[in-house]
Structure 1
Amino acid sequence: MESKWFYRILLLSLILLFQGCAQPPVPSPATPTITISPTPEPDTPVPPTPTPTLDFNLTATAIAQATQQASQTLEAIFQATLSVKQTEFANAQATSLAPTMTPFMVPLSDPTPGKIFWNQTAALPIPSSASQHIPNGMQVITHNGFIYLFGGRATDGDEILTTTYFSAIHSDGSLEGWQVTTPLPGDYVDHHEIRIGNFVYMITGAAGADDVFYAPFNADGTLGSWKRTEDLLPSRQTFAVANYENFIYAIGGNSGGLWNRVQFTSIKEDGSLNRWFNTTSLPVDLQEHTAIAANGYLYVLEEKL
């Protein structure tokens, strides 16, 4: 009798055990997954970020074109300069300003990046006395729809020019024609003109000059009278000048020897300048260089454009 009950209990246990194993497993709650981007293998070299460099094997016009098209950061200047270099300059290089003194306008809004189309416009003013007196070393700025030419030197080297010319710029980029306005305040060479607000600033150099002048722009494009303001001491030559917002920077040059010094000043409400102060020097001594300030940075190129 006991044996019969034993087998019944054993059979029941096996049935229950079988039913428990046959039931489908209860799924676990879904676990959120995180996808991680694959990383390079330890022995796989990661390509370095390219460092932009400027290529100075270009014409001055090409660099100026590239710089104006760029957003004025170093990499943007590099990219624009690179795009200019990769195009053909046969048309641009075939035209020299020296024999004809005829400037050509460049449509900066051209939809083809880096491509330049030249169009002839108003000829530069030339002294009528002799062709060899074609000026060089002129300084150029623009303001409020006008372009200005300052000074220069006759190509024979005997005459320092003090004439200031200006012309209106038409909407298509062409020039209306050159007119004479207030001359420079003296016979200066190696000077720089900088436009800030409604004033133009003339920072002189060479031949012991340390004079600084400023003049207002008139509504008709002419210049007002020049006034002397805070001198840049000591005198120097072959230096660079840049402006950013309300500040002017004088960079490097030669003052009885090469310099790496950088000085700056700021503009007063009446247009005159505050004193010049020293700031962080260049890492090397430089002369005959170019400087441009943009987006909170000062860029110095070891070539004069």
Structure 2
Amino acid sequence: MARDFYEVLGVSRDADSAEIQRAYRRLARQNHPDVNKEAGAEERFKDVAEAYDVLSDPEQRRRYDAFGEDFRRVPPDTDPGAWRRARSSAGAGADARGRWSSGAGPSGGFGADDFGGEVDIEDLLGGIFGGRAPGGRGRGGWGPGPIPGSDHEAEVEVSVEEAYHGTERSFTIEGADGRRTVDVTIPMGVVDGQRIRLRGQGGPGSGSAPAGDLYLVVRIADHPRYRVEGRDLHALLPVAPWEAALGASVPVETPGGTATVKVPAGSSSHRRLRLKGRGLPNRRGTPGNFYAELQVRAPKTLTDEEQRLFEELAKVSNFDARSRR
């Protein structure tokens, strides 16, 4: 059974967008496969990404609140009240002739009295899906009625730079209606595991029923320089020994262009410096950060003057690199 998206993020059903975003960022950091190697962490990360994708989108959240886990399958113009009443009636059970009765009525939605004493299952389901029930007898006669198309899902891989700036993709889709090409705009600031909905690009519906949707699941490819953690980006920043010792302003390459980071005097390798807001952008809220991890590097070869100065420093310095103090 599908888990409740609010439960996945650990927020209440009346949580605002800021609470949802905070919960997503915290859980995405905890469960990202690059950080958490525990069994099941990757699946939890995907669940968190899907829950955030739905609950951070006002329209998708409205439909999810109305229709629950069926929100992607219910046609767009369906009345939530009628849908709930029909499902409640359907849950009461059918007799041998396919008619639905007990458990409905004033206390449970549509009842036998509402339809002149008997209710056919096709009438109930037809009220939800806008026509005859699949393979049954609708109000218009025998035969299969309009059935909404199925939703499809596919993965799309993008680079860190493409995730930062946005990009375009073309897909060739094969279905019952033949081959077709779909052009897709990948918006700036997508994160790994995010789902992009292409309305009406899924399986074709029968009769006058609408086609299903195509959901693209974004996968951010490994990068030689950057490590992605939610919307935050991490990268190594090599510095010279004297820059680490004396402090310096050092350029660092980010997907958004070159930035400058101030290295405090007395820094060592693995110290992290934050560039606020220089991670992946966020169209709905706060962008991620960029973290530069210092990597102190010594020259492989020295000039005579450099050799002399380092030897002089070694004589006068009391610094013990192996001391824990």
TM-score above 0.5: no
TM-score by length of 1: 0.22
Greater RCO, CA 8 A, separation 6+: 2
Higher helix share: 2
The structure that has the greater radius of gyration is: 1
TM-score by length of 2: 0.21
